[in-house]
Amino acid sequence: MPIIYLSPSTQEGNYYVNGGTEEEYMNLLADKMVPYLDASGIRYTRNTPDMTAASSIAASNAGDYDLHLALHSNAAPEGKYGQVRGIIVFYYPTSQPGQRASTIIANNLKAIYPLPNLVRAQGTTTIGEVRRVRAPSAFLELGYHDNLEDANWIKENLDAVARNLVMSLTDFFDIPFLAPEPIRSGRVDVDWGVLNIRARPNLNASILAQAPDGAPLAILNHSGGWYLVNYKGTIGYAKDDFVTLNG
């Protein structure tokens, strides 16, 4: 299953025109994303507010991630304070996966942002979390926090944006988007040796692990004849015909 480096802003000095900071609200956005990430089987490592952009880049580069997703809000240049609106998703120009992820994110955000013509994906070579990370990167500038309408929109739509972003990630990784459900327990129930745990709900998908008959499973979700399961720390899909729920 895919794994991302989730990097909400560490810029505590960037103040929203209606109160609070960029660091505060981008971390709240990341908090809102977590249940949707867990429900859809996307693993993640997340930075912390005491880190910096440089240490976030170093932590990302120390791992093996399928995408680096940076969460930020924007500020207008001097002389245009409060006058600019819109969403930009930056990517590195030569990174095809980064461009694809950024384009998916931008296109999906158009459905919930009140000015969809002001949402775009754009290449850049100047942003460190785009230029210096090893993984494909999507760097989100979610509206302008010095613009009252944008700042209000961000604060009032954190859950909708979080859901939208995780839907974009599932599009990018070609896995189902699943709403959060209570975790259940179950066990493998096969007449042969093992049950294959696969990367996607497809019999042709790669096998991540093999669980023997009777092995305990945490059932994270359900999609079209497949359970999303956690088997000894491996998250993947198992055919529901061969899993018995406990209780």
* pLDDT mean for each 10 residues of the chain (247 residues): 97 96 98 98 97 97 98 94 96 98 98 98 98 98 98 98 98 96 96 94 96 96 96 96 93
For residue 122, the surrounding DSSP H or E stretch is strand 119-123
Q: How many residues does the chain have?
A: 247
Give residue 226's pLDDT.
97
Percentage, residues of the chain above pLDDT 90? 98
Give residue 247's pLDDT.
76
Give residue 73's pLDDT.
98
For residue 234, the surrounding DSSP H or E stretch is strand 234-239
Domains of the chain: 3-173 (3.40.630.40), 184-245 (2.30.30.40)
- Phi/psi for 226 (5° steps) reads -130, 145
For helices 96-109 and 158-173, angle between their N-to-C axes, nearest 10 degrees: 140
- DSSP collapsed to 3 states, 162-226: HHHHHHHHHHHHCCCCCCCCCCEEEEECCCCCEEEEECCCCCCCCEEEEEECCCEEEEEEEECCE
DSSP per residue over 56-95, as a string?
A: HHHHHHTS--SEEEEEEEE-PPTT-TT----EEEEE-TT-
Burial (CB count within 10 angstroms: exposed 0-12, middle 13-18, buried 19+), residue 191: exposed
- CB under 8 Å, gap of 24 or more: what pairs does 47-54 form? 47/5, 47/6, 47/7, 47/8, 47/10, 49/10, 49/12, 49/23, 50/10, 51/10, 52/10, 53/10, 53/128, 53/129, 54/128
Distance linking the first and last C-alpha atoms of the chain:
28
Give residue 192's pLDDT.
84
Burial (CB count within 10 angstroms: exposed 0-12, middle 13-18, buried 19+), residue 113: buried
